[in-house]
Amino acid sequence: MDHFHYRDGALWCEDVPLARIAEEVGTPVYVYSAGAFRRHARVFREALEPAGDVHLAYAIKANPNLAVLRLLAAEGYGADVVSGGEMARALAAGIPAAGIVFSGVGKTEAELARGLDAGIGQFNLELEEEGVVLARLAREKGVTARAVLRVNPDVDAGTHAKISTGKRENKFGVPIDQAPAMFARLAALPGLDLRGVAIHIGSQLFDIAPLEAAYARVKRLVDDLRAAGHRITHVDLGGGLGVRYKAGDVPTEPADYGAMVARATRGWDATLMFEPGRVIAGNAGVLLTRVIWVKPGVVHPYIIVDAAMNDLARPALYDAWHDFDAVVPTGDRMTANIAGPVCETGDTFAMAREVDAVKGGDLAVFRTAGAYGATMASTYNSRALVPEVLVDGDRYAVVADRISAETILAAERVPEWLA
């Protein structure tokens, strides 16, 4: 079921017309479907049922809005966090500390200490020194830190270079061949309960063969660690499942992924942990925008919209494709470039794209913007920080305000020697 659908010639989110949100909240604005979030959360959970004992930690970097986190907490999801800020959000949303996994290649000592104080469930260690610091902090606080060691399995995830994380030249994890010796040294430290290993090889993966290859390497490592006498109770298999952004994209279905996981991990006798982000959030949101004008171009006209690269950075950063559809399509089509108002050429969403014909004042959406959308927004060009709306049936709420350029200006000051 598509939670963004046309009804009487206009695009709705669940039972709310997008035109009403544009009218009442203004544009640009992210619009999320609560129904889509719930459905994705359940589909992913059910897909992994054949894999046995599973802990789901939603990668909140994909969409950390408090209302979204609350909704996923109600679905029984824990959280994968990568900063003190994300940890605070997860806790504020009511996600139990025990269900929180703290990932990230550069956790500071202060962040580790806050994690211990909060009693979070697991620290995913990225290097030996981090484990040494964590063990010392835990001893000082008289607690035990539950942790796993993130290994770099050196597989090519076959995704965009900027979101690939499991090749040995990437900054993440410890080389898998060094892991056994490192594990032994860390496991010996008082204060640390080193209970397993973790991997995450990249994001927006269509082909799950690299994941299966990585799991096989993890299995050999787990066998070696057990043979050396270590107790391995948890294996964190990360996130990474891709979603459909455009016609012709064929992402792996969660059920097929779940079947592969069940096959690859049979007999592991450990709690499997997952950190899904995009697969939960991606298709649960759109960026609603208004066409400012259609500017004649040399080859194709430019559709200039009121959303820009500061609101949705993915096209500028990764040449990512987001479908562009009119909220009230006329049936006519046009070939155009689509760009925002920001003063750089990189602020382009699409070139020579065939889209619904639009004119100045019309509303349109960029699809599949629920993941890595609002969370990556900035105020570049002194534009407002984009607001977020959550639709649930026939209700909607503004779940993040538009932060105006004036509010941001109010947080700046001129030192008295320049006044």
Q: Is 277 annotated as a binding residue?
A: yes
User: Quick check: 66 binds ligand LLP (CB under 6 A)?
Assistant: no
Residue-wise DSSP of 309-322: TTT--HHHHH----
**Residue from 131, 196, 240, 387 that binds ligand LLP (CB under 6 A)?**
240
We find the least distance from the C-beta atom of residue 75 to ligand LLP, in angstroms, to be 16
- Of 191 and 254, nearer to ligand LLP (C-beta) is 254
**28-36, 196-204, 258-266, 338-346 -> range binding ligand LLP (CB under 6 A):** 196-204
**34-42, 88-96, 259-267, 272-280 -> range binding ligand LLP (CB under 6 A):** 272-280
- Of 80 and 356, nearer to ligand LLP (C-beta) is 80
Residue-wise DSSP of 301-354: -EEEES--TTT--HHHHH-----EEESS--S-EEEEEEE-SSSSTT-EEEEEEE
- Of 144 and 271, nearer to ligand LLP (C-beta) is 271
Secondary-structure breakdown of the chain: helix, strand, coil percentages, each rounded to the nearest 5: 35, 25, 40
* Selection from 215, 237, 128 nearest residue 175 by Cα: 128
- With a CB cutoff of 8 Å and minimum separation 6, the contacts of 247 are none
**Residue from 30, 324, 372, 396 that binds ligand LLP (CB under 6 A)?**
372
**Residue from 277, 329, 340, 370 that binds ligand LLP (CB under 6 A)?**
277
CA distance 302 to 337: 5
CB 163 within 8 A of CB 202: yes
Site string for ligand LLP, 315-334 (x = CB under 6 A): ---x----------------
- Six token digits for residue 97: 């500390």
We find the least distance from the C-beta atom of residue 217 to ligand LLP, in angstroms, to be 17
Q: Which of residues 34-63 bind ligand LLP (CB under 6 A)?
A: 59, 62
CB 53 within 8 A of CB 32: no
Site string for ligand LLP, 158-177 (x = CB under 6 A): -----x-x------------
State the CB neighbour count (10 A cutoff) for residue 58: 32
CA distance 173 to 45: 26
Binding residues for ligand LLP, rule CB under 6 A, total 21
- Of 189 and 281, nearer to ligand LLP (C-beta) is 281
CA distance 315 to 348: 7
- Six token digits for residue 227: 């043979």
User: Quick check: 196 binds ligand LLP (CB under 6 A)?
Assistant: no
CB 337 within 8 A of CB 315: no
**Residue from 89, 314, 322, 383 that binds ligand LLP (CB under 6 A)?**
314
We find the least distance from the C-beta atom of residue 244 to ligand LLP, in angstroms, to be 14
Which CA distances in Å does 102 have to 114, 203, 285, 286, 311? 11, 18, 26, 28, 27
User: Quick check: 276 binds ligand LLP (CB under 6 A)?
Assistant: yes
We find the least distance from the C-beta atom of residue 274 to ligand LLP, in angstroms, to be 9
User: Quick check: 203 binds ligand LLP (CB under 6 A)?
Assistant: yes
User: Quick check: 86 binds ligand LLP (CB under 6 A)?
Assistant: no
Phi, psi of 278 (to 5 degrees): -55, -40
Site string for ligand LLP, 90-109 (x = CB under 6 A): -------------x------
**11-19, 277-285, 337-345, 388-396 -> range binding ligand LLP (CB under 6 A):** 277-285
- With a CB cutoff of 8 Å and minimum separation 6, the contacts of 70 are 93, 94
Residue 343 appears among annotated catalytic residues: yes
- Give the active site residue among 343, 410, 411, 414: 343
CA distance 284 to 369: 8
Residues known to be catalytic: 343
Binding residues for pyridoxal 5'-phosphate: 240, 275-278, 372
Binding residues: 240, 275-278, 314, 318, 344, 372
Q: Give the interface with ligand LLP as residue ranges (CB under 6 A).
A: 59, 62, 80, 103, 163, 165, 200, 203-204, 238-241, 275-279, 314, 318, 372
